[in-house]
């Protein structure tokens, strides 16, 4: 059965993330065949194929230290070609409207244009840049930026991404923070490809430097974005309306005044699952991304803060890499009277990681009593076996603890 267009673009993203250019080009070739002989992308396609074949021959016959750098450059070119051809195929199949202009005085026209146009023109982004500098156009700017973010999640555009990064230093603090949050979600979403887009990396670094605070405000926005995501399992029926409630107040009032809430609601519902589910997925992978490395990694205070935020959300992913901060968090929880066996087990893990087996076992024992049955206890404890071993706990210790806890 032939892959859907969504499956194909996902396959390409995974392939190019590993610089598997040939694998990606097979799909691009099928798209070009669909567009017909007179498509404008053949020359770029042939150039990438020729460069790759030449590099492969060189790789087989010589030990060129520049080969890895050359492969990165070819991969970046392949990404650019994919973006252009993908947009053209979407138009060809009628999945995106063929749009030529918009009415800047009509909020509905602005929102529709920036949410759906996959072939934005330079003058469109110049207009966006201009209104970002106009504090009387805050509501229109927020509307366009949110619509553009929705568009970019479906169809990446380097220039549009750079325009949003530029908005991180807009005159209006509200616009700047909204653009920053939008850029963060897109950087996480497209993390695999960011290494191949130095112009985006450089623009982001320059935007942070321009703030003049060493990235402190950007980190605050990242923390706020992380906290805004519901804890796993807490809101199984979370709706688009809840996401709407998180929009900036000025934008929400503007939508109400213009009668555009329904249109904005459709923009917030661009993924099969709820927006909250989508954001939860982004936040879960955040610690492994380039964005996290730039804003958090290496700063002990920020790392500890993010660890506490994740633990407050019920997500223990960072506990293993920051056990000291996690230990303080769980000590505080237990002092406040928590009787959640997960807290006791997690605290026990922190103690075990620093070598205090006796106190660790005591916390496991109390958790075992709270769980009531050995099955309930092991449902929480055993999924952590691998992480304990990965962090240096001998497997013999783990089995000994489990054997001692079979009986209450």
pLDDT > 80? residue 246: no
User: Cα(172)–Cα(138) distance, rounded to whole angstroms?
Assistant: 7
Four-point Cα dihedral 22, 24, 30, 34, nearest 10: -140
Share of the chain above pLDDT 90, in %: 67
pLDDT on residue 288: 95
* pLDDT per position as a tens digit, 298-352: 999 999 999 999 999 888 989 999 999 999 999 999 999 998 999 999 999 999 9
pLDDT band at 167 (very low <50, low <70, confident <90, very high): very high
DSSP classification of residue 136:
G
pLDDT band at 236 (very low <50, low <70, confident <90, very high): very low
pLDDT band at 272 (very low <50, low <70, confident <90, very high): very low
pLDDT on residue 31: 96
pLDDT on residue 271: 39
* pLDDT per position as a tens digit, 363-372: 999 999 999 8
Contact 342/329 with Cβ under 8 angstroms? no
Q: 103-108: list long-range contacts, CB under 8 Å, 24+ apart.
A: 104/140, 107/139, 107/140, 107/143, 107/254, 107/258, 107/260, 108/258, 108/260, 108/263
DSSP classification of residue 100:
-
Contact 49/29 with Cβ under 8 angstroms? no
CA distances from 65 to 19, 49, 57, 68, 398 (A): 17, 21, 14, 7, 46
pLDDT on residue 95: 92
pLDDT band at 229 (very low <50, low <70, confident <90, very high): confident
Name the least confident of 22-31, 99-108, 179-188: 99-108
pLDDT > 60? residue 182: yes
- More confident position, 49 or 66: 49
User: Cα(216)–Cα(366) distance, rounded to whole angstroms?
Assistant: 40
Average pLDDT over the chain, rounded to an integer: 88
User: Cα(165)–Cα(159) distance, rounded to whole angstroms?
Assistant: 10
Which among 95, 94, 80, 93 has a CA at the least distance from the CA of 28?
A: 80
For 29, the token pair is: 């070739």
Total-model pTM: 0.84
pLDDT on residue 406: 80
pLDDT on residue 234: 46
* pLDDT per position as a tens digit, 136-153: 888 899 999 999 999 999
* pLDDT per position as a tens digit, 258-271: 666 666 666 554 43
Q: What per-residue string of b and e applies to 134-166 under the rule 16 or more CB within 10 Å gives b? A: eeebbbbbbbbbbbbbbbbbbbbbbebbbbbbb
pLDDT > 70? residue 132: yes
Domain spans, the chain: 5-92, 107-286, 320-404
């Amino acid at each position: 059965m032939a892959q859907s267009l969504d499956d194909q673009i996902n396959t390409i993203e995974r392939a190019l993330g590993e610089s598997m250019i040939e694998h990606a080009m097979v799909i691009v070739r099928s798209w070009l065949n669909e567009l017909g002989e007179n498509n404008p992308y053949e020359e770029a396609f042939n150039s990438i194929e020729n460069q790759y074949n030449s590099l492969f021959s060189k790789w087989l016959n010589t030990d060129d230290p520049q080969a890895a750098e050359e492969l990165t450059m070819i991969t970046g070119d392949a990404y650019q070609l994919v973006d252009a051809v993908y947009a053209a195929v979407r138009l060809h199949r009628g999945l995106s409207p063929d749009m030529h202009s918009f009415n800047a005085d009509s909020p509905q026209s602005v929102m529709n244009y920036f949410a759906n146009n996959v072939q934005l023109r330079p003058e469109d982004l110049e207009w966006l840049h201009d209104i970002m500098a106009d504090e009387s156009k805050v509501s229109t700017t927020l509307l366009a930026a949110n619509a553009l973010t929705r568009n970019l999640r479906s169809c990446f555009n380097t220039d549009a991404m750079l325009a949003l990064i530029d908005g991180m230093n807009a005159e209006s603090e509200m616009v700047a923070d909204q653009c920053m949050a939008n850029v963060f979600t897109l950087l996480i979403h497209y993390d695999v490809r960011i290494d191949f887009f130095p112009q985006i990396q450089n623009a982001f670094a320059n935007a942070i430097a321009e703030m003049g605070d060493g990235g402190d405000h950007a980190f605050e926005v990242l923390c706020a974005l992380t906290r805004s995501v519901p804890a796993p399992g807490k809101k199984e029926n979370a709706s688009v309306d809840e996401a709407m409630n998180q929009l900036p107040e000025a934008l929400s009032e503007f939508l109400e005044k213009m009668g555009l809430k329904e249109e904005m609601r459709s923009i917030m519902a661009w993924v099969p699952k709820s927006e909250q589910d989508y954001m939860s997925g982004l936040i879960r992978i955040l610690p492994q991304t380039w964005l996290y490395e730039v804003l958090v990694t290496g700063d002990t205070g920020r790392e500890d803060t993010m660890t506490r935020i994740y633990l407050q959300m019920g997500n223990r992913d960072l506990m293993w890499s920051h056990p000291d901060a996690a230990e303080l968090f769980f000590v505080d929880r237990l002092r406040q009277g928590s009787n959640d066996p997960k807290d006791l087990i997690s605290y026990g893990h922190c103690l075990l990681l620093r070598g205090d087996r006796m106190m660790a076992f005591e916390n496991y024992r109390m958790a075992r009593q709270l769980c009531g049955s050995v099955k309930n206890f092991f449902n929480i404890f055993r999924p952590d076996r691998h992480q304990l071993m990965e962090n240096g706990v001998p497997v013999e210790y783990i089995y000994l603890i489990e054997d001692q806890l079979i009986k209450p």
